[in-house]
Amino acid sequence: MRIAFLAAPEGVEQVELTEPWRAVTATGDTPRLVSTTPGSIRAFHHLDKGDSFPVDQVVADASVEEYGALVLPGGLANPDALRMDAEAVAFVKGFFAAGKPVAAICHAPWTLIEADVLSGRTLTSWPSLRTDISNAGGTWVDEQVKVCTGGPNTLITSRKPDDLKAFCEAFTAEFAKSGH
């Protein structure tokens, strides 16, 4: 199964990209980096520049049908940039409409808020998003990982890099169950 990893050209938290990427690869699935521009993206280690990663596909050319699931890595700037890009928001919204699983960590739920897909959903995130999630109709919980099946698809969320092991275990298990 092909798994889309959506990231802006700059600002993704590197470990929140690389650890889930490794987890997907370890299951035998194929991760693909989707971004708003071609070329490469620049990751960060919190506020310090990290490595560059090649973009496999531009979101304007991507379709939800090509992918079985979506991973939204965090970082402070990454989801803030994605939620300002109409094509990225539509791509995310498409996974919910298609009933395909979505995994999001840290600040990534900002993009989910913009896609207007959190009403009635229970999720976790970096703690500062709690009010934003509540205002978007979601219920925020302070848990290492939260799997929410109460909606059109399965939504797997986590709070921060320290939760990556549990996050990766949870979303790879849910992706395997999805059958997409």
Cα 97 to Cα 172: distance, rounded to the nearest angstrom: 21
- At residue 180, the pLDDT reads 61
**Full DSSP string of 107-135:** TTHHHHHHTT--TT-EE--SGGGHHHHHH
Give pLDDT < 70 ranges for the chain: 180
Residues 6 or more apart whose Cβ sits within 8 Å of residue 170: 103, 145, 147, 156, 158
φ, ψ (nearest 5 deg) of residue 88: -65, -45
- At residue 15, the pLDDT reads 98
| Domain ranges (residues) in the chain | 2-178
107 is catalytic: yes
Helices 164-178 and 14-26 cross at an angle (nearest 10°) of 40
Which among 45, 46, 107, 148 is annotated as catalytic? 107
Please give the DSSP secondary-structure letter assigned to residue 37: S
Q: How far is CA 155 from CA 26, 53, 57, 159, in A?
A: 21, 26, 23, 13
2-178 CATH, one of 3.30.450.20, 3.40.50.880, 3.40.80.10, 3.30.70.260 = 3.40.50.880
Which among 106, 148, 168, 180 is annotated as catalytic? 106
**In terms of DSSP bridges, do strands 155-158 and 102-105 run parallel, antiparallel, or are they unpaired?**
parallel
pTM of the model: 0.97
CA 95, 108, 40: angle at the middle one, nearest 5? Answer: 85
